[in-house]
A and B are shown apart, each in its own frame.
Chain A
């Protein structure tokens, strides 16, 4: 199994540009989420989804949009990139959110905004 696949692995953007970070899982997981990891801040939740068609905001949602049209895919969109969004972004999934299944993480997307 491929697990959780994130693309691209690296990206450099200019301020004001938009882009979509892709996340796909092949484990039929209902729960998917996006985190950003910054030095000294740890991992912070951006958005999450408990199933297709259902999304909700996490701790730091401003400047990001998500949608969940299929169980497999959970893309993260940066609407107008800002230097403060320079970070490493991780997508994660689990079978359910009820609490007895571990989270599976992708390898991350390293994003730099100039």
Chain B
């Protein structure tokens, strides 16, 4: 059974810092690894998707990497801004007869002005 873990559960940083959010998964048989952002009381917004054959994806100040062999993904946020404050969720789209997205519990990020 796939399990996805995110560390830390919460993170508070001053504006302008570069930061890394961590995600680990137990089963490497995945189609892709996705990172989402969730604002309070809102739905999830897709940030980056890394296919299983890829090593990283970039969008603006965001860079996500994937290492299937070690079961790890990281989300790098450059030059953080107060508007980046949200909960960040990673999810592994798992193979094996039950195609589904398995989520971590998220990292709540606060960027202080």
Which residue of the partner chain, among A59, A97, A101, contacts B99 with CB atoms under 8 Å?
A97
Interface size for B (C-beta < 8 A) is 25
B-side contacts of A56, CB under 8 Å: 98
Q: How many A-B residue pairs have CB under 8 A?
A: 65
Which residue on chain B has the smallest CB distance to residue A50? Answer: B99
Query: With the chains together, A21 CA to B8 CA distance in Å?
Result: 33
Q: Give chain A's interface residue range (CB within 8 Å of chain B).
A: 20 to 34
- Cβ of B34 under 8 Å from chain A: yes
- Cβ of B101 under 8 Å from chain A: yes
B-side contacts of A48, CB under 8 Å: 99-100
Query: With the chains together, A101 CA to B99 CA distance in Å?
Result: 13
- Cβ of B105 under 8 Å from chain A: yes
B-contacting residues of A (Cβ < 8 Å)?
A: 4, 31, 33, 35, 40-45, 48, 50, 56, 58-59, 90, 92, 97-108
